């Protein structure tokens, strides 16, 4: 019973954090992708009405590596 309450509490707290983070604007920045292309967040993406997903992960992390094909397919 205690385990179920802990799980439900964590789910509730994480869902509240997710809802609070929606529709927030981040600062403009420039980044270089793995092919050496330079991207400006606003000029190249947000000003064109595109959705931007920024995913940071470590290449030897098993859960991170399992998500990589999903992001490659969607992009």
Would you say residue 11 lies in a domain? no
Residues in the chain: 75
Would you say residue 42 lies in a domain? yes
Residues 7-26 pLDDT 10s: 777 666 665 555 555 566 67
Write out the residue range of the structural domain in which residue 46 sits. Answer: 25-75
CA distance 41 to 1: 46
Would you say residue 39 lies in a domain? yes
Total domains, the chain: 1
CA distance 75 to 72: 5
Residues 21-47 pLDDT 10s: 556 667 778 888 878 888 888 787 777
Q: Is the pTM of this model over 0.75?
A: no
Pick the closest to residue 43 from 29, 32, 56 (CA basis).
29
Would you say residue 15 lies in a domain? no
Would you say residue 45 lies in a domain? yes
Would you say residue 17 lies in a domain? no
Element (H, E) at 30: strand 30-32
């Amino acid at each position: 019973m205690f385990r179920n309450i802990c799980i439900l509490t964590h789910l509730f707290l994480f869902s509240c954090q997710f809802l609070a983070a929606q529709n927030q604007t981040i600062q403009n920045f420039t980044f270089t992708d793995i092919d050496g292309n330079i991207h400006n967040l606003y000029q190249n993406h947000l000003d064109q009405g595109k959705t931007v997903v920024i995913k940071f992960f470590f290449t030897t992390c098993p859960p991170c590596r399992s998500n990589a094909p999903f992001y490659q397919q969607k992009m």
